[in-house]
Amino acid sequence: MHSLRLHKETQRILIAVAGERWVDHDLIFPNKVGNPLDPSNLRLDFNHIISETGLPKIRFHDLRHTAASLMLNHGVPSIVVSRILGHSKPSTTLDFYGHLYHEMQGEAAKIMDDLVTPIQVELSKVKERISR
């Protein structure tokens, strides 16, 4: 949250500097006069930041996949993730990220085991019923 507040304050300064040239599109990351960022410049800036920080080179689009994976792995409902990603239907999200649910099946089995395990079963009574 601190980073977003700082970014908002920086944007207020940009608006003041641009003055009448500022075009308000209500964007979180506009260019210096409020218009949408040019995709080429965004890619170049992103690659420059990645290079400066020494992080492994990734595509800007990989951030989208990472965000979707993190949300789904942490239990955010697929319909919510779908809306955030701008997919028209949750099924589109599941087509792209359905493999994550396969990976979560073991966790689901453990949850079911934890839910059901507290039920006490007397084995002697079960054996007696089976042998009848």
Contacts of 50 (CB under 8 A, 6+ apart): 56, 57, 58
CA atoms within 13 A on the CB side of 13: 6
What is the dihedral sign for C-alpha 43, 45, 46, 51? Answer: positive
Q: Give pLDDT tens digits along the chain (132 positions).
A: 788 899 889 999 999 999 999 999 989 889 989 999 998 888 999 999 999 999 999 999 999 999 999 999 888 999 999 999 999 999 999 888 887 777 677 877 888 888 887 666 666 666 677 776
Residue whose entry in the numeric block shows the structure tokens 């992080």 = 55
Q: Is the pTM of this model over 0.85?
A: no
Residue whose entry in the numeric block shows the structure tokens 């951030």 = 63
| DSSP per-residue string spanning 83-99 | HHHT-SSHHHHHHHHHH
Give the whole-angstrom CA distance, residue 23 versus residue 52: 31
CA atoms within 13 A on the CB side of 98: 6
Q: 58 near 50, Cβ under 8 Å?
A: yes
Give the whole-angstrom CA distance, residue 47 versus residue 123: 63
Distances (CA, A) of 15 to 41, 55, 63: 20, 32, 28
